[in-house]
Amino acid sequence: MTCEEIKPLEKITIELLLQQHHRILFLGTMKILTDVCAAKVYAVPTELSHKQFEEQLRQKGTTGKLIPAYINLEENRSGPFKITGILTGLSGAENAGEIKHEYADLQKAHQILWAVINASSPPLEILMKTNRIETKYAL
């Protein structure tokens, strides 16, 4: 994916799930970055880390606060996948102690991500096992 192809998500689509299919099947997750200042959500390309994709967004001119998240997905008999969890505020950079986020920004990112999920077309089945904000790395 080139910088010109980077577009925020308005909703989770079947096309997006199919693009992420390999990662979802093997790892059960889709990586997300949310710009809380612009209220934009981005799907991280499967071949990149959160940090690498953040660098691409910064090169494109994004200046907002970027919060990582994971959407956990499982195969579904009635559709391609069902959402089983959301974890906001965690990636390798946070784990390594490189980045910390304001708790209010974590909450806002979580809400923005939920708005995108709720706008999904067609609607995704949601069977939540995990719905949390990682506060271990919050300021």
pLDDT category of residue 1 using cuts at 50, 70 and 90: very low
pLDDT at residue 3, rounded to an integer: 44
Q: Is residue 95 helix, strand or coil? A: helix
pLDDT category of residue 2 using cuts at 50, 70 and 90: very low
Longest dimension (CA), the chain: 41
Q: How far apart are CA 110 and CA 128, in angstroms?
A: 14
Residue ranges of the domains in the chain?
A: 3-133
Cβ atoms within 10 A of the Cβ of 69, count?
Answer: 26
Cβ neighbourhood burial of 68 (10 Å; 0-12, 13-18, 19+) = buried
120-134: pLDDT as tens digits: 877 788 888 989 998
Q: Is the pLDDT of residue 35 over 60?
A: yes
Q: Residues 6 or more apart from 109 whose CB is under 8 A from it? A: 34, 36, 67, 69, 88, 89
73-100: pLDDT as tens digits: 888 777 678 899 999 998 876 666 677 8
